[in-house]
Amino acid sequence: MHAPENLLADCGSCFGLCCVALPFARSSDFAVDKAAGEPCRNLLEDSRCGIHSTLRKKGFPGCTVYDCFGAGQKVSRSMFEGRDWRQQPSNSSEMFAVFPIMRDVHELLWYLADARDRTSTAPLHNRIDREYDELDALTSATPEIVMSVDVSALRARVNDVLLDASDLVRADVAGKKKNYRGRDMIGAKLAGADLRGASLRGTYLIGADLRGADLRLADVIGADLRGADLRGADLRGSIFATQFQINAARGDRATQLPESLTRPSHWA
Ligand code: SF4
């Protein structure tokens, strides 16, 4: 799909919300513990990261993986009309509470945009448009309304149409498709596997060897690809792939990505 601009993170238009609003636990992803609402010690006054070019080296690889789907600039520039939490501390708790919910809503919009951008889902386009428009309107609502959203219920509702879209997209692959939905495949050896049109919904593929695997038109929504080896894999046309998943995986110049995603700078 062609990624909608409003769903792409624009860190320069955000007040560093992911670096303040979210909690971190000290781990291989983050070198320090940090509570929700506490500014990261590396965050500069102008909302840039003070260690941006050395994040991985300094023990913050999690920051190179995270993607807000454009929620940061939406909250900073649109909802709070460019009022920085530093200048208006009275807004800060509301801003920090609304940001993760906005991120979840933007993520759902990303999936709906992907489903809508395919010709095989034409029978569903009206239904997808209705869901998209309703969620899009929600992103322009007041902080109180956004904070009252039941994200789990929203995900379940949107998932109905996403599942139908997935079936239509994957039907373009002839023959029996593999179904690994929700399976624990941590560290699985799948190098060179034919996974065209497979369901990898919510599959745990942490550290899996997917070198050279064919994932065209596979449904990868919610698949955990942390540390998965995608070198030489083909993900063109895979449905519901996100930048977050790709950033968390390993890959190289031979990895073929869906056109909406970009090759992470930390890949070889
Ligand atoms: S290390 Fe940089 S990118 Fe990561 S949370 Fe801190 S300021 Fe943000």
Q: Is 19 in the pocket of ligand 1 (CB under 6 A)?
A: yes
Q: pLDDT-derived band of residue 268, with 50, 70 and 90 as boundaries?
A: confident
Query: Which residues lie closer than 8 Å to 181 by C-beta, 6 or more apart?
Result: 199, 200, 201, 202, 203
Output the CA 86–ligand 1 centroid distance in Å: 17
* 158-173 pLDDT tens trace: 999 999 999 999 999 9
DSSP secondary structure string for all residues of 148-162: T--HHHHHHHHHHHH
In this model, does residue 2 exceed pLDDT 80? no
The pLDDT assigned to 3 comes to: 78
- Contact between 248 and 225 (Cβ < 8 Å): yes
186 lines ligand 1 (CB under 6 A): no
Q: Tens of pLDDT along 127-148?
A: 999 999 999 999 999 999 999 9
- 54: Cβ–Cβ under 8 A, 6 or more apart, which residues? none
Q: How far is ligand 1, taken at its centre, from the CA of residue 134, in Å?
A: 33
Ligand 1 pocket member 141 (CB < 6 A): no
pLDDT grade, residue 66 (50/70/90)?
very high
* Residue 30: per-residue pLDDT: 96
Q: pTM of this prediction?
A: 0.96
Residue among 54, 59, 60, 53 at smallest CA distance from 19? 60
Q: From the CA of 52, give the closest atom in ligand 1.
A: 2
